[in-house]
Amino acid sequence: MVARHLADATVLHNGVQMPWFGLGVWQAKDGEEVEQAVKAALAHGYRHVDTAAVYGNETGVGKAIRESGVAREEVFVTTKVWNSDQGYDSTLRAFEESRKRLGFEYVDLYLIHWPVKGKYKDTWKALEKLYQDGVVRAIGVSNFQIHHLQDLMVDSQIVPMVNQVEYHPLLTQKELHAFCKQHNIQLEAWSPLMQGNLNQPLLTDLAHKYGKTPAQIVLRWDLQNEVVTIPKSVHENRIVENASVFDFELSAEDMEKIDGLNQNHRFGADPDNFNF
């Protein structure tokens, strides 16, 4: 299903609806900066906000949602357990801390932030418990490669509902995407705009062709590939611009051209080799 409206949602394998498009708040400062960004996004029709314990802005995200005038149940909120909190008991404690900071009874999606060796299986068991207890509506992972997913699924009760990874035209992750589709795991893109490195001649050409910006071309490509996407911005005009991608469609030929930009290039850390 290709998203045609900002409110359109994918259905996760447990039946929960997750909006295709959302606001990422990585690097947004807690307090006024993140609060204004979240309120602007909600005022302009966004219904999905992605944060994490390590971002240090869960408090501001929760406050902004409460003050926005939009009902809590209409906003899909994701947060994540940080690496130093991984393990069974420590994850349960970390979740309670996140929930307290957000000020919510429940979280819509809780993710393991990175596949910490020797810990992510116990962490996943904690997520399964949180899910069974009804305090999270969906559970998933972030930055998991195929082999991490296979390892996790060997003795897990629940298949992850989401895998949030670095995904953009220079890192198309085709094999991982195919594996996730095969197992009904929804792929989600972080850093979809390549941390601003949009100066690809092809993207410029397509922007002219469709009367859009290079960023909008990339975000549309994400959506047509059935990848949930959460571009980050704290500027209202950019938040609006990022979401203005539902009034055009890229041709199959242009989708293929963008796929052809792939260089397996990461702007973020390598999930097989990170030290934090």
Kindly give the residue spans of alpha helices, DSSP state H, lying in 103-235. Answer: 120-132, 146-154, 174-182, 201-210, 214-224
By CB atoms closer than 10 A (0-12, 13-18, 19+), residue 103 is middle
- The crossing angle, in degrees rounded to 10, of helices 214-224 and 201-210 is 90
In the chain, where the domains are located:
9-259
Can you give the pLDDT at residue 165?
98
Whole-angstrom distance, CA of residue 229 vs CA of residue 50: 10
Residue positions counted in the chain: 276
Per-residue pLDDT at 59: 97
Say what the pLDDT of residue 92 is: 98
How do the pLDDT tens digits run along the chain, 276 residues long? Answer: 678 899 899 999 999 999 999 999 998 888 889 999 999 999 999 999 999 999 999 999 999 999 999 999 999 999 999 999 999 999 999 999 999 999 999 999 999 999 999 999 999 999 999 999 999 999 999 999 999 999 999 999 999 999 999 999 999 999 999 999 999 999 999 999 999 999 999 999 999 999 999 999 999 999 999 999 999 999 999 999 999 999 999 999 999 999 999 999 999 999 999 988
Assigned token pair, 103: 């000020």
* pTM over cut 0.95: yes
pLDDT attached to residue 1: 67
Rounded to the nearest angstrom, the gap between the alpha carbon of residue 139 and the centroid of all alpha carbons in its chain is 12
Active site residues: 55
Q: Report the topology of domain 9-259.
A: TIM Barrel (3.20.20)
Measured distance CA(239)–CA(248) in Å, rounded: 18
- Listed residue (271, 263, 261, 186) closest to 230, CA to CA: 186
Q: What is the pLDDT of residue 266?
A: 97
Range list of H helices, 211-275? 214-224, 236-242, 252-259
Residue 270 phi, psi (nearest 5): -85, 120
- SS3 assignment, position 21: strand
